Amino acid sequence: MLTTPTKEIPVAVVATEKKKAPVYTAPTKAPVKQSILLGFGGFLSKLPQIQHNFSPEPREYTIQREARRNAVKTSFIHGWTGYKTYAMGHDELKPLTNRPSDPFGGWGATMIDSLSTLLIMELNDEYARIMPRISKINFKVDEDISVFESIIRYLGGFMSAYELGERKQDSLLQKAEKLAIELLPAFDTPSGLPHHLWNPVQNKPNNRETLIAEVGTVQLEFMMLSQLTGNPIYGQKAQAITDFLDNMGYEHGLYIKGLYPTAMDTHQGRFKNAISSFGAMGDSAFEYFLKEYILMDGRVPQYARMYIQSINSMKKHMLRQVPGYDLLLLPPYDTQHMQHRNSMDHLTCFVPGMLAMGSVTLNEPEDMEIAKGLLETCVFMYRTTETGLSPETWSIPKTVPYNPLTYNKTKTQLAKLRDWWYNDELINPLLVQPKNGSETVREETKETEYSTKYQLPPVKQRPDSLYFGDKRYLLRPETVESLFIMYRITGDQKYQEYGWEIYESIEKWCKTKSAYASIRNVERKREDGDEEDEEFNQIDSMETFLFAETFKYLYLLFSPPDVISLDKFIFNTEAHPFLRKQWNWDRIFKK
Ligand SMILES: *[C@@H]1O[C@H](CO)[C@@H](O)[C@H](O)[C@H]1NC(C)=O
């Protein structure tokens, strides 16, 4: 049911009256058929455009961008080759000892999680070589399987690869459905909230506890599976969860609207704690409210309502600012006692990307400012360390509640606000909406600036009270994910430059002879004696999201902006893109 490719709308048509650097146009090849990576060019959304209108690039800049893109691809291939050589078909490769490990059912998690990246990087032969292995995967194992991880890594990986492979590999869709059939019994709980762990052979759960992130991160995948298979059951199970969450209240342990605590009981269908988090254990539940709204192209207002509710409560209660800095902190929050924590984890760094997308989709200008401030914090945690890599967690005890009237305001701006504060006649300068009724918050028609000599300002001194908790870097993707999204939305080259610095640090510290390793202590310098031992600061672990997300987002950050455009695709939380289109959702919603 592919939409007919229509004529591609030019990405940017710029009147060139002023004298400008010569514009580089790629040599035109014989007419090629529309590439799936460009989304077939056939989808016109009802929602506001997400991506910036990029102007044509100067040639020099294109050369540099392509060199960076190729460097990322080469790194991916290095890791992939190590995995293939020592651990093919297993879940992970241990990058120091070159042994396999199987924490995800042993179904080849790295292999499946890499499929969509292989296609995006146009490594089609590698992709084809995996296909014969797909049909051999056996989901009936006598082990406790994580329902959530199986859905985001495997199910998401199969379906995204099926679509990006132009629906030629039926085995991918068949496997996706087989896996979903194994997991469906895990949804048969009194509340409809799925179990956290499920044993497909014994057909029973391991316990009743689960997390909001786990019940709130199946919707995109199950909705898509219903679309691709024509069987509405998956989408209906997912929608039942959303409806359940939507109807929860004080009596279920939900103390503040939209701020769902992390721990849940699948049997009683209520919360087991009061801590709400946009990082570990909470994160993607909030992400999926917005992404479902976008996947269904705005057809279901419930998702936008739930997303806005959560974000508004987050801004009001959870968000903190650091005096003297443009840094924002989003720590977990005790919704019962109204108390904030001081720490934030790297997982939270997906939030800037989410807020930026929500900002343009739902016309919430303030969210874009918050996105920028949070992203500065995430990037700061990389730039301020010895290795240029971010710790897993950090704390800033000296913060004050976020206040749009004072956050990152100059003296002059503050003076203006002061006038407004004391004079009822004046309009709040912060509420000035974008001019001439333009429907998005984006600064339209501004020409993209490109420079091959871009210099990032040096990193500021650390806030006095900042300290690191867990000093490991686990090859996590969230910051580069937000950098990619922010770059595609604003066109601000700063975000590419930040990403390049991070990439170079990964190359310098994480690379091993066979692949890439996590880092033990991002603050550790090379000391005497360490020169001999390249592995002195490395951990024997390489999670699959390095291939699915970190390298993919870095690669896309340096790709032409119409490759996997945010206006044509929506990424699941494991960075597997699904095609956006006018799907038909009637069968799922009609009871
Ligand atoms: C903070 O304000 C300065 C000066 O107006 C601006 O250059 C900077 O981008 C702002 N920071 C953020 C994170 O928005």
Mean pLDDT by 10 residues, the chain (591 residues): 39 41 53 78 87 96 98 98 98 98 96 98 97 95 94 98 96 98 95 93 86 95 96 96 97 97 94 97 96 96 98 98 96 98 98 98 95 98 98 98 90 80 76 52 71 96 98 98 98 98 98 98 81 85 98 98 96 97 85 56
Task: Please check whether residue 321 is in contact with residue 399, taking contact to mean a CB–CB distance below 8 angstroms.
Answer: yes
Q: Which of 478, 481, 549, 567 is catalytic?
A: 478
CB 360 within 8 A of CB 442: yes
- Ligand 1: residue whose CA is nearest its atom 11: 326
CA–centroid distance, 142 to ligand 1, in Å, is 54
Q: Give the position of tokens 């599976």.
A: 225
- Which value, to the nearest 10 degrees, does the dihedral of the CA atoms of residues 108, 113, 114, 118 take? 130
Residue 326 Cα to ligand 1 midpoint, Å, equals 7
Q: Which residues line ligand 1 (CB under 6 A)?
A: 326, 369, 372-373, 376, 408, 410
Q: Are 55 and 14 in contact (CB under 8 A)?
A: yes
From atom 6 of ligand 1, which residue's Cα is the shortest distance away?
A: 408
Which residue has 């968000």 as its token pair?
Answer: 319
Locate the ligand 1 atom nearest the alpha carbon of residue 373 and give its number: 13
Q: Is 283 a catalytic residue?
A: yes
Q: Detail the residues annotated as belonging to a binding site for Ca(2+).
A: 573
Query: Which residue's entry shows tokens 């194994």?
Result: 182
pTM: 0.92
Q: Whose CA is nearest to atom 8 of ligand 1?
A: 326
Nearest to 322 by CA among 456, 466, 430, 459: 466
Say how many Å lie between the CA of residue 457 and the centre of ligand 1. Answer: 13
- For CA atoms 364, 483, 549, 36, the dihedral sign is positive
Q: Give the helix, strand, coil percentages of the chain, each rounded to 5.
A: 45, 10, 45
Please tell me the predicted confidence (pLDDT) of residue 89: 97
The C-alpha angle with vertex 269 and arms to 265 and 271, in degrees rounded to 5, equals 60
Please report the DSSP string for 513-570 in residue order: SSSB-EES-TTPPP-TTGGG-TTTTEES---THIIIIIHHHHHHHTS-TTTT-TTTEE
- Give the torsion through C-alpha atoms of 575, 581, 584, 585, to 10 deg: 40
Q: Has 478 been annotated as catalytic?
A: yes
CA of 490 to the centre of ligand 1 (A): 14
Atom of ligand 1 nearest to the CA of 375: 13
Contacts of 61 by beta carbon, 8 Å cutoff, 6+ apart = 24, 450, 451, 452
Q: Of 57, 144, 149, 574, which is the active-site residue?
A: 149
Of the residues 319, 406, 408, which should be mutated to test ligand 1's pocket, given the most ligand atoms within 8 Å of the CB? Answer: 408
Catalytic residue selected from 163, 214, 392, 562:
392
What separation in Å is there between the alpha carbon of 372 and the centre of ligand 1?
8
C-alpha torsion angle, residues 247, 252, 253, 256 (rounded to 10): 20
Choosing from 319, 322, 325, 326 the residue with most ligand 1 atoms within 8 A of its CB, the one to mutate for a pocket test is 326
